[in-house]
A = this chain, B = another copy of it.
Amino acid sequence: MTVDLVIFTVRDGELNILLIERGNEPFRGASALPGGYVRPGETLDQTALRELREETSLDGRELHLEQVRAYSDPDRDPRGRVITVAYLALGPDLPRPVAGTDARQAAWTPVAEVLEGRMILAFDHRTILRDALERARTQLEHTTVAARFCPEPFTVGELRRIYEVVWGFKLDPSNFRRKMTRAEAFLEPTGEQRFPEVGRPAALYRRGSARFLIPPLLRTGASRDEVV
């Protein structure tokens, strides 16, 4: 029984995932999701938090952690019967990943590189990644987790870029602003401004208390092909 982590962050305008290089067989040398065995007396949430801390030196308070689902194909691990529960983690541009204890190299990797097939993942981790990404995209529609990607304080434009990167298509800046600022308790204005290198200064916001985005911001599919 293991827990695998799909840790997303946005770096350089791209969606990135934390992958480790496997030091042992099977799939030695291939990339894989960070994860590990559930210890006796540990809940799965605790396992996920512990693995997260070991891989990124972050405690879970700063980011969103959520169970995705269990994967149980008897042949998914050639060593034997291993059922794994996948967790989705979202966070702001995270500090450099820490090398794991068992000589594993951890690195941020653009999700596009993985899904376009230019990189092979161990086990069924490619399927897990796909499911977790879909979950993240749906979460952005109905909840306020997108703000968990943004280091506080943040601008509406930064928040919009999160949506664009995770969803994979561009959004109208004006309509997005209208939607977000009208949503109850999503954005809490600080009153401050940020002066970027280029463009008009932007108002700064903090995360509000709302956990759900009502009404939701649905991907209509109309502009879904406009890839960023």
Which of the listed residues A44, A45, A72, A74 has the most CB atoms from chain B within 10 Å of its own CB? Answer: A72
Indicate if the CB atoms of A41 and B1 lie closer than 8 Å: no
Instruction: Report A152 CB to chain B, min CB distance, Å.
Output: 29
Q: Tell me if A73 counts as interface (CB < 8 A to partner B).
A: yes
Instruction: Report A215 CB to chain B, min CB distance, Å.
Output: 7
Q: Tell me if A228 counts as interface (CB < 8 A to partner B).
A: no
Indicate if the CB atoms of A44 and B83 lie closer than 8 Å: yes
Chain A residues 35-60 with CB under 8 Å of chain B are 38, 40-45
Indicate if the CB atoms of A72 and B38 lie closer than 8 Å: yes
Main secondary structure of the interface of A (DSSP, over half): loop
Chain A residues 53-111 with CB under 8 Å of chain B are 67, 69-70, 72-74, 81, 83, 85
Indicate if the CB atoms of B215 and A43 lie closer than 8 Å: no
A89 to B214 CA separation, bound complex (whole angstroms):
28
Instruction: Report A224 CB to chain B, min CB distance, Å.
Output: 12
Q: A67-B69, A69-B69 are in contact. Are A74 and B41 (CB under 8 A)?
A: yes
Of the residues B1, B43, B72, B216, contact of A218 by C-beta under 8 Å = B216
A142 to B73 CA separation, bound complex (whole angstroms):
28
Task: List B contacts of A40 (CB < 8 A).
Answer: 74, 81
Identify the closest chain B residue to A80 (Cβ).
B40
A-B contact pairs, 16 of them (CB 8 A): A1-B1, A1-B83, A38-B83, A40-B74, A40-B81, A43-B73, A44-B70, A44-B83, A45-B72, A67-B69, A67-B70, A70-B85, A72-B85, A214-B221, A215-B218, A216-B218
- Sample of 11 further A-B pairs with CB below 8 A, known A40-B81, A44-B70: A1-B83, A38-B72, A40-B74, A41-B74, A41-B81, A43-B72, A44-B83, A45-B72, A67-B69, A67-B70, A70-B70
Task: List B contacts of A218 (CB < 8 A).
Answer: 215-216
Task: List B contacts of A85 (CB < 8 A).
Answer: 70, 72
